[in-house]
Structure 1
């Protein structure tokens, strides 16, 4: 992306940006406080007329001091503006308040990532998710996901699902056009893709593969929906190289899954996919690649999310540059027949692969 190939800021702009980075955690906490205590909504309801500190404090149930320090911080953040001692909401403030993408990102960082990211430096040095200790003693977050507090799980799944739910309806046609009838869904999580796929294709059968804890959640949901005859379950630790994948399927599907692993682990998983597929089978990978985004802000979001993987998830994976990822695909013996970019708001890429 050209955005990342040139340093276009003046010295003054660069120094200003450096200060915003230095105070980034403070800005985040201030914005989150204004979301939760109602100040952003009060500003929105005040409309163009604006509202004084005193009236905002009364409506929010805050002291004048509390409202004042947050509103003044909001000025610096660009969340609000002030004219004749009355504050009004800006476009940035509106998106913090009402944009679903911003909401899931904010809650994910607050509930899942914030405390653990304090261990980022150690995680980078050791290649281990040291920040995960704030939740428990697991080697990766995936083993502990079903045991996390309910609010943490809620924010984690909301984040994960938001980035996939909007893309699934758009990508189904590309998959169904391949004529697939039996599919393995590796890393199927709570069954979002499997349910979406079989509900919209009466000829499709899916075998979900994931850790037992995740599959237990999916199995209950799928049984409640009456889809148990068309979705099967294969509990497995994908990282165990002795675990071979079942054969006899037309395709293997992985969505937002391989970014959970290092390059070496991705290659190992893909080699086992290669062994499980026959010569006419398809390997279908849907991922977010930061270099394949239309907008710099989308790439930025993915680059920052990579540090969640470093500090909390597993210590050795990320949301990849597409060329780094493709090397793993080629190393496993596959070729990429088609690459479809810019799928949905989340900017997914679908790689349609066959044996070389």
Structure 2
């Protein structure tokens, strides 16, 4: 595992105290910057370039009062999103990122629409190891049972977050998927069928077996029918938290993408045992996931590490973004050995290939 230290080597006591205050006021800064982005303040400033805009000039548009502008833009100033030049606000580099970077916008929407209200219950969720924050949306044991029923904008932001991180990786990994010429592929945690559609489109002879909860498979079923690929796909509604729920056997390849991080270590161990039993004699397992210890840049590790509280508070109560060694250890216990590991896929994915041990 790569060593990680997110603070500067020679951080002074004064600098450390400043960083601590950023943590203390983090929720306030988040909401004000989001407001400035969503309500068009940042765009209005960006439109005039380096000349910037004064509060009076912006208020003259009638879109915001001077009071609101001062409250929001002063917080943005403190966060390095804008800067002041001769009494005018100018977009700074962090503000440009908020305004133009899709992954930043996806992360902001996810944290606001899905996580923000629920995080008030994080303390209780951590103590109980149950997703108690989920109550802000509905009465489900985990978020996965309620995905198809989440209210908007939470539902849209959840899927945008999930797909943005995974979809960019699919074109890169399809050669890995078909490297062993599999004929029967099982997609565990198929969700809305994105990977299945990509695999069926890339190979005319392969057959896919989709495993997920009924609600997700209903969405995947519709997508497969619309694409004219339904006849090469079999749906297997399964609750993987049920240790007795067996998987279809004789699989040449079993695929799991951003799936195992939804479960506790005990549940992952159970899934690995059933996966091993479902493989054909020469079958293999491909796992694509976001491991915080395999990232080249600290910014990626930072985002991944701070996604783990969502898994505790909303998803399942006992899952997280794992280190890669956790998967390798749990797979080994189920009789699966790591064959290869490939990093740098998409934004922050790695691909682990396993096979049955001797």
The question of whether the paired residues in 2 share the 8 Å contact of 1:37 and 1:60 is answered with: no
1:164 and 2:166 aligned: yes
The question of whether the paired residues in 2 share the 8 Å contact of 1:127 and 1:315 is answered with: yes
Quote how far apart the aligned CAs of 1:71 are.
Answer: 1.1
Could you tell me how far apart the structure 2 residues matched to 1:155 and 1:87 are? 30
Among residues 36, 45, 48, which one is paired with 1:46 in the alignment? 48
1:10 to 1:2, Cα distance in 2 relative to 1, 3 A:
farther
The question of whether the paired residues in 1 share the 8 Å contact of 2:328 and 2:337 is answered with: no
Mapping 1:316-335, distance limit 5 Å: 316-335=318-337
Quote how far apart the aligned CAs of 1:53 are.
Answer: 0.9
Quote how far apart the aligned CAs of 1:339 are.
Answer: 0.3
Quote how far apart the aligned CAs of 1:152 are.
Answer: 1.1
Per-residue CA deviation, residues 173-217 of structure 1 (Å, 9 max, x unaligned), is 111122112100000000000001111111221010100000001
1:5 to 1:146, Cα distance in 2 relative to 1, 3 A:
closer
Per mean C-alpha deviation after superposition, the further-off stretch among 23-32 and 198-207 is 198-207
The question of whether the paired residues in 2 share the 8 Å contact of 1:120 and 1:130 is answered with: yes
Mapping 1:246-261, distance limit 5 Å: 246-261=248-263
Q: Which runs of 5+ in 2 are unaligned?
A: none
TM-score scaled by length of structure 2: 0.97
RMSD over aligned CA atoms reads: 1.2
1:42 to 1:12, Cα distance in 2 relative to 1, 3 A:
same
Could you tell me how far apart the structure 1 residues matched to 2:82 and 2:4 are? 28
The question of whether the paired residues in 1 share the 8 Å contact of 2:294 and 2:324 is answered with: yes
Quote how far apart the aligned CAs of 1:5 are.
Answer: 8.1
1:186 and 2:174 aligned: no
Could you tell me how far apart the structure 2 residues matched to 1:354 and 1:57 are? 64
The question of whether the paired residues in 2 share the 8 Å contact of 1:39 and 1:60 is answered with: no
Mapping 1:90-239, distance limit 5 Å: 90-239=92-241
Per mean C-alpha deviation after superposition, the further-off stretch among 147-156 and 251-260 is 147-156
Could you tell me how far apart the structure 2 residues matched to 1:3 and 1:244 are? 39
Per-residue CA deviation, residues 296-334 of structure 1 (Å, 9 max, x unaligned), is 111010011000001111100000011122211111110
The corresponding residue for 1:287 is 289
1:88 and 2:110 aligned: no
The corresponding residue for 1:244 is 246
- Detail structure 1 runs of 4+ shifted over 6 Å in the superposition: none
Among residues 262, 265, 286, which one is paired with 2:264 in the alignment? 262
The corresponding residue for 1:352 is 353
Could you tell me how far apart the structure 2 residues matched to 1:2 and 1:243 are? 39
The question of whether the paired residues in 1 share the 8 Å contact of 2:109 and 2:157 is answered with: yes
Could you tell me how far apart the structure 2 residues matched to 1:231 and 1:301 are? 35
Q: Which runs of 5+ in 1 are unaligned?
A: none
Per-residue CA deviation, residues 69-116 of structure 1 (Å, 9 max, x unaligned), is 111111100000111111110110011111100011000000000011
Could you tell me how far apart the structure 2 residues matched to 1:10 and 1:355 are? 51
